[in-house]
Structure 1
Amino acid sequence: MHKFHKSIFREYDIRGVVNETLYPTDAYHIGRRYGTLVDSRLGGKKICVGYDGRLSSPALAAELIRGLKDSGMDVVELGLGPTPMVYYSVFELDADGGIMITGSHNPPSHNGFKIMLGKDSLFGAEIAGLEKITEYKEGFGSVTKLNIKTRYIMRLLQDCIIEDGYKIGWDPGNGASGEIVQKLCKALPGKHFLINEKIDGKFPAHHPDPTIPENLEQLAELVSKNKLDVGFAFDGDGDRLGIIDEKGDIIWGDQLLAILAQEVLAENPGATIIADVKSSRLFEEEVSRLGGKPLIWKTGHSLIKTKMKEMQAPLAGEMSAHIFFADKYYGFDDGIYAALRFLNIMQNSGKTASELLRALPRYYSSLEYRIPCKESDKLKIISDLKNALKVKKASFSDIDGVRVNYEDSWWLLRASNTGNYLVARFEAKTEKKLAELEATLSGFLAEYGYFLEV
Structure 2
Amino acid sequence: MTKPITCFKAYDIRGELNSQLDEATAYRIGYAFAEELKAKTVVVGSDVRLTSTPLKLALSAGLIDAGANVTDIGMAGTEEIYFATKHLGVDGGIEVTASHNPINYNGMKLVKADSVPISGDTGLNAIKERAEQLTDEAVSQRLAYYTQGETIDADAFYNGHAHIKVSHLTDTGSYVEDSCMSAYVDHMLSYVNLDSFTPLKIVVNAGNGAAGPALDAIEAELASRQVPISFIKVHHEADGTFPHGIPNPLLPENRADTADAVIKHNADFGVAWDGDFDRCFLFDASGNFIEGYYIVGLLAAAFIEKNQDSKIIYDPRVFWNTEDIVANAGGTPIKSKTGHAFIKERMRKEDAVYGGEMSAHHYFRDFAYCDSGMIPWLLIAELVCVKKQSLASMVKARIEAFPSSGEINSKLKDADAALERATSKYKPLATVIDTTDGLGLEFDTWRFNLRKSNTEPVIRLNVESRGDIALMEEKTAELLSVIRDE
Q: TM-score, normalised by structure 1?
A: 0.90
What's the offset of the Cα at 1:418?
A: 5.0
CA distance in structure 1 between the aligned counterparts of 2:370 and 2:180, rounded to whole angstroms? 18
Alignment partner, residue 77 of structure 2: 82
2:81 corresponds to 1:68: no
Query: Which whole-Å deviations, capped at 9, do the CAs of 1:47-92 have from their partners, x for residues lacking one?
Result: 1100000111011111111111111111111110111111100110
Alignment partner, residue 240 of structure 1: 279
Letter in 2 for 1:127: L
- Name the SS for the 1:365 alignment partner: coil
Alignment partner, residue 165 of structure 1: 199
Alignment partner, residue 24 of structure 2: 25
Distance change >3 Å, CA 47–CA 384, structure 1 → 2: farther
- Name the SS for the 2:106 alignment partner: strand
What's the offset of the Cα at 1:381?
A: 5.2
2:385 corresponds to 1:347: yes
Higher alpha-carbon deviation: 419-428 or 232-241: 419-428
Amino-acid identity (%): 29
- Of 206, 209, 221 in structure 2, the residue corresponding to residue 187 of structure 1 is 221
Letter in 1 for 2:384: M
CA distance in structure 2 between the aligned counterparts of 1:218 and 1:19, rounded to whole angstroms? 33
Q: How does 1:86-101 map to 2 (within 5 A)?
A: 86-101=81-96
- Name the SS for the 1:403 alignment partner: strand
CA distance in structure 2 between the aligned counterparts of 1:130 and 1:62, rounded to whole angstroms? 18
CA distance in structure 2 between the aligned counterparts of 1:74 and 1:244, rounded to whole angstroms? 42
- Name the SS for the 2:203 alignment partner: strand
CA distance in structure 2 between the aligned counterparts of 1:317 and 1:269, rounded to whole angstroms? 18
Alignment partner, residue 452 of structure 1: none
CA distance in structure 2 between the aligned counterparts of 1:446 and 1:251, rounded to whole angstroms? 28
Query: Which whole-Å deviations, capped at 9, do the CAs of 1:399-432 have from their partners, x for residues lacking one?
Result: 1111111121111111223544221111224344
Mind listing any 5+ residue stretches in structure 2 that lack a counterpart? 143-171
Q: How does 1:437-448 map to 2 (within 5 A)?
A: 437-446=475-484
Letter in 1 for 2:23: P
What's the offset of the Cα at 1:109?
A: 1.6
Does the 8 A contact of 1:233 with 1:241 survive in 2?
A: yes
Does the 8 A contact of 1:2 with 1:29 survive in 2?
A: no
2:196 corresponds to 1:153: no
CA distance in structure 2 between the aligned counterparts of 1:195 and 1:130, rounded to whole angstroms? 39
Distance change >3 Å, CA 286–CA 418, structure 1 → 2: farther
Q: TM-score, normalised by structure 2?
A: 0.85
2:459 corresponds to 1:427: no
Letter in 1 for 2:285: E
What's the offset of the Cα at 1:135?
A: 5.5
Does the 8 A contact of 1:173 with 1:196 survive in 2?
A: yes
What's the offset of the Cα at 1:380?
A: 6.5
Higher alpha-carbon deviation: 300-309 or 290-299: 290-299
Alignment partner, residue 122 of structure 1: 118
Letter in 1 for 2:3: K
- Name the SS for the 1:20 alignment partner: coil
CA distance in structure 2 between the aligned counterparts of 1:333 and 1:4, rounded to whole angstroms? 31
Query: Which whole-Å deviations, capped at 9, do the CAs of 1:346-403 have from their partners, x for residues lacking one?
Result: 22222221121124252332121122246xx545654675577666666321111111
Letter in 2 for 1:292: G
Distance change >3 Å, CA 268–CA 419, structure 1 → 2: farther
Query: Which whole-Å deviations, capped at 9, do the CAs of 1:249-297 have from their partners, x for residues lacking one?
Result: 2222111111111221012222221111223421111111211122222
CA distance in structure 2 between the aligned counterparts of 1:98 and 1:114, rounded to whole angstroms? 8
Alignment partner, residue 45 of structure 1: 40
Mind listing any 5+ residue stretches in structure 1 that lack a counterpart? 450-454
Does the 8 A contact of 2:296 with 2:322 survive in 1?
A: yes
Name the Cα RMSD after superposition.
2.4
Letter in 2 for 1:166: L
Aligned length: 440
Distance change >3 Å, CA 87–CA 395, structure 1 → 2: same
Letter in 2 for 1:285: D
Alignment partner, residue 404 of structure 1: 441
CA distance in structure 1 between the aligned counterparts of 2:133 and 2:338, rounded to whole angstroms? 33
Distance change >3 Å, CA 278–CA 390, structure 1 → 2: closer
CA distance in structure 1 between the aligned counterparts of 2:405 and 2:109, rounded to whole angstroms? 30
Does the 8 A contact of 2:98 with 2:106 survive in 1?
A: yes
Does the 8 A contact of 1:51 with 1:100 survive in 2?
A: yes
What's the offset of the Cα at 1:212?
A: 2.1
Does the 8 A contact of 1:10 with 1:417 survive in 2?
A: no
CA distance in structure 2 between the aligned counterparts of 1:114 and 1:32, rounded to whole angstroms? 15
Letter in 1 for 2:32: R
- Of 205, 226, 236 in structure 2, the residue corresponding to residue 197 of structure 1 is 236
Does the 8 A contact of 2:15 with 2:106 survive in 1?
A: yes
Letter in 2 for 1:29: R
- Name the SS for the 2:370 alignment partner: coil
What's the offset of the Cα at 1:239?
A: 0.5
Does the 8 A contact of 1:4 with 1:26 survive in 2?
A: no
CA distance in structure 1 between the aligned counterparts of 2:234 and 2:484, rounded to whole angstroms? 43
CA distance in structure 1 between the aligned counterparts of 2:455 and 2:317, rounded to whole angstroms? 15
CA distance in structure 2 between the aligned counterparts of 1:361 and 1:443, rounded to whole angstroms? 25
CA distance in structure 2 between the aligned counterparts of 1:409 and 1:270, rounded to whole angstroms? 28
Letter in 1 for 2:180: I
Alignment partner, residue 155 of structure 2: none
Higher alpha-carbon deviation: 224-233 or 434-443: 434-443
Alignment partner, residue 415 of structure 1: 452
CA distance in structure 2 between the aligned counterparts of 1:247 and 1:436, rounded to whole angstroms? 27
CA distance in structure 2 between the aligned counterparts of 1:168 and 1:57, rounded to whole angstroms? 30
Alignment partner, residue 2 of structure 1: 2
- Name the SS for the 1:364 alignment partner: coil
CA distance in structure 1 between the aligned counterparts of 2:426 and 2:36, rounded to whole angstroms? 43
Does the 8 A contact of 1:170 with 1:194 survive in 2?
A: yes
Between Structure 1 and Structure 2, which shows a larger proportion of helix residues?
A: 2
Letter in 2 for 1:364: P
